Structure 1
Amino acid sequence: SKYDAIPILYLSAESDIEKQLDAVGLGGDDFLTKPVPKEVLISTVRNRCRRHRGLRDQMIRDGLTGLFDHNHILEVLSNELNQAKTNDQPFCFAMIDLDRFKSVNDIYGHSMGDRVIRALALYMRQRFRITDTVGRYGGEEFALVLPNTNAENALKLLEEVRRGFEQLVHQDGQHQIRVTFSCGIAQLQADDDGSTLSQRADQALYKAKDAGRNRVEVAR
């Protein structure tokens, strides 16, 4: 449930260590015996919250890029989509896939491949609004949640990012390469949910691939 990650502290006059251990064993994170100085209580609560936030952040982020992982980007998509429907605002979801990425790994090695993935992640984080969400969908695939954005503006923005990224030179040792990406965009329709919207974005992405790669397509 949504409360699973909330730290649980027991505050009791119970001094029996065995009973305290039993309580913690049921799912608690700490046991404080009353009376507790308020400074200790406040500090314990603050530290536990900070630790759990850190653990949750690690759990929902991709290790290579620091972007949200596949599951969390879908969670963000669902939440933002519902918000867009409630507020009657335009909303777009975009899928990005690096072109011929297998060849990069095969020819130049995974070190170069990782460098390219991190470069695209950083490039997108620098160029999107704080209200937008960038995630690593898996492998060389990325996803973008774009609230309050229509397809026309999303296309313009992704075209700028595409043109900028293709100019970047990725260097690993003596090797220098340029890499492109393809992108598919879908704008929210009245009967869409997260699954159908992401499917339409994925279909637009495949259309971009089939049309020659290094391009952005909008789902019609």
Structure 2
Amino acid sequence: MLFLSSHTDAETIKRVFGVGADDYLYKPIIGSELIARIFNRIHRVRVLRSISETDILTGVLNRRKLMQDVQRFLGMCKRYGQTLSFAILNFDYFQEFNEQYGHAAGDMMLQRFGKLLLESFRSEDVVGRWADGKFAIGMYALNKESAAKRLSDLIACFQQSELDRPEARKLQIHFSVGVAQYPDDGSDLQSLYHNAGKALDLAKAMEGDRITCYDLPKNGV
């Protein structure tokens, strides 16, 4: 919020900022200066918003923003009768990787993976880092079988790109992935995360390096 006034006394300035002003301009002001100040303010707001919504290390969304966007897309799914697949991706043996090669090597690997995620998904997909070596992806209008295929291709691409790196040759990089689908496997983010987590646990129990779609309990998951 920008205030424009001919008053320059301290009390006026105090009152203006007290009601939430972002900047204060004195009259008279040149039009070009006003425009420049407005655009500078818009740019700063966008930068601050990006910082508050982005995981600094990987460049994907942070968990808070990820959850907000998935919930927004779920609202669209309900309105238009669409599906949404929610996937949890977890680096297998990520802690061991960090212990053996150092956290710097682990951070660099996460950065490369984050970059690939941003390049690989559509604007109607939501990609974020949940915690440490765990990522989550919401894929709008995509069933879980199609989502699993896309994720399989993504992981294969990443593993292939890592083969020329010394640390990757010594310790294979694998993922466990669990996928759940709205509305079949949950009607909200909490239930989708819970059931995708169950599928992820099953993938890990089978020694990892696999993608598992959630199935109803009557089918044994």
> TM-score under structure 1 normalisation?
0.88
**Residue in structure 2 matched with residue 3 of structure 1 by the alignment:** none
Answering whether residue 195 of structure 2 is matched by residue 200 of structure 1, we say: yes
Q: Separation in 2 of the partners of 1:170 and 1:59?
A: 34
Q: Deviations over 1:125-164 (max 9, x none)?
A: 2222232221111100001111111112101111212233
Q: 1:86 aligns with which of 68, 73, 79?
A: 79
Amino acid at match of 1:131: E
**Residue in structure 1 matched with residue 98 of structure 2 by the alignment:** 105
Task: Give the 3-state SS of the residue equivalent to 1:96 in structure 2.
Answer: strand
- Cα distance, 1:26 vs structure 2: 3.9
Q: 1:217 aligns with which of 196, 202, 212?
A: 212
**Residue in structure 2 matched with residue 11 of structure 1 by the alignment:** 4
Answering whether residue 20 of structure 2 is matched by residue 27 of structure 1, we say: yes
Q: Deviations over 1:36-81 (max 9, x none)?
A: 3332222211110110110110111111111111111111111111
Aligned length: 213
- Cα distance, 1:34 vs structure 2: 2.9
Alignment root-mean-square deviation, CA: 2.1
Q: 2:114 aligns with which of 121, 134, 152?
A: 121
Answering whether residue 147 of structure 2 is matched by residue 154 of structure 1, we say: yes
Contact 1:94 1:145 in 2 (8 A): yes
Q: Separation in 1 of the partners of 2:188 and 2:57?
A: 29
Answering whether residue 55 of structure 2 is matched by residue 62 of structure 1, we say: yes
**Residue in structure 1 matched with residue 173 of structure 2 by the alignment:** 179
Q: Deviations over 1:11-44 (max 9, x none)?
A: 2232323321332144321111233333222221
Contact 1:169 1:176 in 2 (8 A): no
Amino acid at match of 1:65: T
**Residue in structure 2 matched with residue 77 of structure 1 by the alignment:** 70
Q: Separation in 2 of the partners of 1:183 and 1:212?
A: 12
Contact 1:162 1:214 in 2 (8 A): no
Amino acid at match of 1:129: R
Task: Give the 3-state SS of the residue equivalent to 1:166 in structure 2.
Answer: helix
Q: What fraction of aligned residue pairs are identical, expressed as a percent? A: 31
Q: Separation in 2 of the partners of 1:58 and 1:176?
A: 35
Answering whether residue 43 of structure 2 is matched by residue 50 of structure 1, we say: yes
Q: Separation in 2 of the partners of 1:36 and 1:88?
A: 52
**Residue in structure 1 matched with residue 124 of structure 2 by the alignment:** 131
Choose between structure 1 and 2: higher helix proportion. Answer: 2
Q: Separation in 2 of the partners of 1:170 and 1:79?
A: 40
Which deviates more from structure 2 when the two are superposed, residues 183-192 or residues 150-159? 183-192
Which deviates more from structure 2 when the two are superposed, residues 30-39 or residues 148-157? 30-39
> TM-score under structure 2 normalisation?
0.88
Q: Deviations over 1:182-210 (max 9, x none)?
A: 11111101761111112111111111111
Which deviates more from structure 2 when the two are superposed, residues 162-171 or residues 68-77? 162-171
Contact 1:93 1:185 in 2 (8 A): yes
